[in-house]
C-alpha cells in the first residue's frame, strides 16, 4: 500500500500518531479543503505539529473523518469525498514530495 493510501486509511481510522508517522520530521501538509466549510486553510509544518492538529481535528469532528468514493489516480494522487462538520467536500490529494520513504509535502485541494 502506498503512502497516500495509508494517509487516507489513517484519516478514516482517526489515529493522529499513525498519520504523523507517515511524514518526515519537517514534513508539510497543506489542506485548503477547510475553506469549503468556512475554516482557514490548514498549513502545518513538522511531524509533531501534524500529530497535534489531527488530534485536535478528530476531537472537533467527534472521531475519524468520513471519507468516501476514493479513487486513486496513481500512487501520488487521489480523489475522494471528505466530510467536515456534516458538509461533504470533494477533494484532490497530491503527494508533492517524498523523501526517504516519508511524506515531505502533501497538498489537498477542494474541487
Query: Using CA atoms, how far apart are residues 94 and 69, in angstroms rounded to an integer?
Result: 16
Per-residue pLDDT of the chain (111 residues; tens, 9 = 90+): 899 999 999 988 889 999 999 999 999 999 999 898 888 899 999 999 999 998 887 776 677 778 899 999 999 999 999 887 788 999 999 999 999 999 999 999 999
Measured distance CA(1)–CA(92) in Å, rounded:
18
Q: Beta strands 102-110 and 23-31: pairing type?
A: parallel
Residue 57, pLDDT score = 78
Amino acid at each position: 500500500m502506498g503512502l497516500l493510501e495509508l494517509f487516507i486509511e489513517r484519516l478514516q481510522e482517526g489515529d493522529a500518531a499513525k498519520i504523523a508517522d507517515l511524514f518526515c520530521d519537517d514534513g508539510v501538509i497543506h489542506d485548503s479543503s477547510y475553506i469549503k466549510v468556512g475554516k482557514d486553510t490548514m498549513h502545518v509544518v513538522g511531524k509533531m505539529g501534524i500529530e497535534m492538529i489531527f488530534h485536535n481535528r478528530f476531537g472537533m469532528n467527534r472521531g475519524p473523518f468520513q471519507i468516501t468514493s476514493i479513487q486513486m489516480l496513481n500512487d501520488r494522487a487521489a480523489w475522494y469525498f471528505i466530510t467536515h462538520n456534516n458538509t461533504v467536500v470533494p477533494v484532490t490529494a497530491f503527494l508533492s514530495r517524498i523523501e526517504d520513504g516519508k511524506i515531505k509535502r502533501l497538498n489537498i485541494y477542494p474541487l
